[in-house]
């Protein structure tokens, strides 16, 4: 006499249907969304904001860089690294410009001496002293 149910190997060998991956996926998704939200909010509001306004190649040996620095806390001095690059993107000049404690937002002009002709200039980074 044959059974009306179709033959199932999982039933024959005692394999149970498992959904254990759903819990792991749910925890991973919650942690992932939380971390991405935190990272986006944390890094979108830095303590020091730098904005390059303009640069002018004065000569084969100097570049003038005009930029603004907006500091969240102006209680400590800030040091900004200003660089100049040549046509092959090699750094041909670099200075550290110190900004005294005081106002939060300042606009500066720095002259970067170079070893050869520069075609580009930028503020590489700023950090609290």
Instruction: Name every residue whose Cβ is closer than 8 Å to that of residue 25 and which is 6 or more positions away in sequence.
Output: none
Domain spans of the chain, in order of start: 9-43, 48-128
- pLDDT tens for 11-64 read 778 777 777 788 899 999 999 999 999 999 988 888 899 999 999 999 999 999
Q: Which two tokens stand for residue 58?
A: 């004065």
Is it the case that residue 2 has pLDDT exceeding 80?
no
pTM as predicted:
0.70
Question: Are 111 and 62 contacting, i.e. CB atoms less than 8 angstroms apart?
Answer: yes
Residue 9 pLDDT greater than 70, yes or no: yes
pLDDT at 3 over 70: no
- Give me the helices (H) in the chain, please: 9-13, 20-43
Assigned token pair, 7: 């033959």
For the chain, the farthest-separated pair of C-alpha atoms sits apart, in whole angstroms, at 101
CATH number for the domain running over 48-128 = 2.60.40
- Which pLDDT score, from 0 to 100, does residue 90 have? 95
How confident is residue 108, by pLDDT bands cut at 50, 70 and 90? very high
80 vs 98: CA distance, rounded Å? 6
CA 26 to chain CA mean position, Å: 29
Tens digit of pLDDT for each residue in 56-86?
Answer: 999 999 999 999 999 988 888 999 999 999 9
């Amino acid at each position: 006499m044959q059974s009306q149910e179709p033959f199932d190997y999982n039933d024959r060998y005692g394999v149970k249907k498992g959904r254990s991956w759903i819990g792991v996926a749910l925890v991973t998704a919650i942690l992932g969304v939380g971390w991405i939200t935190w990272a986006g909010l944390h890094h979108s509001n830095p303590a020091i904001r730098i904005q390059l306004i303009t640069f002018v190649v004065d000569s084969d040996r100097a570049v003038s860089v005009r930029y603004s620095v907006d500091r969240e806390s102006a209680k400590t001095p800030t040091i900004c690294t200003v660089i100049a690059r040549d046509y092959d993107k090699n750094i041909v000049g670099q200075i550290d410009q110190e900004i005294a404690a005081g106002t939060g937002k300042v606009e500066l002009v720095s002259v970067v001496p170079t070893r050869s002709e520069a075609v580009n200039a930028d503020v590489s980074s700023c950090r609290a002293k």
